[in-house]
């Protein structure tokens, strides 16, 4: 649950795998009235290599190579 409001939000998550948590969090912030300004993760597993939410891509501190096909 998030209280309605306004302002800028920087979303930070520990791991990006499929992007589900990041998308849900960003959507929740936007619906509550906040402006999502950036998406950041500590570790990107590259399971969703071209992940984007609206026009935002994710910045990662550590990126693992994409899994072999």
Render pLDDT for 13-47 as a digit per residue (tens, 0 to 9).
999 999 999 999 999 999 999 999 999 999 999 99
C-beta of residue 2 within 8 angstroms of C-beta of residue 29: yes
| Higher local confidence (pLDDT), 32 or 69 | 32
How much is the pLDDT for 65? 86
How much is the pLDDT for 37? 97
Of the candidates 54, 61, 49, the residue with the CA atom closest to the CA atom of residue 17: 49
How much is the pLDDT for 67? 73
């Amino acid at each position: 649950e998030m209280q309605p409001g306004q302002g800028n939000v920087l979303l930070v998550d520990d791991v990006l795998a499929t992007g589900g948590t990041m998308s849900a969090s960003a959507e929740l912030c936007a619906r509550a009235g906040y402006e999502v300004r950036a998406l950041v993760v500590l570790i990107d597993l590259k399971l969703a290599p071209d992940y984007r939410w609206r026009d935002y891509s994710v910045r990662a501190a550590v990126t693992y190579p994409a899994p072999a096909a």
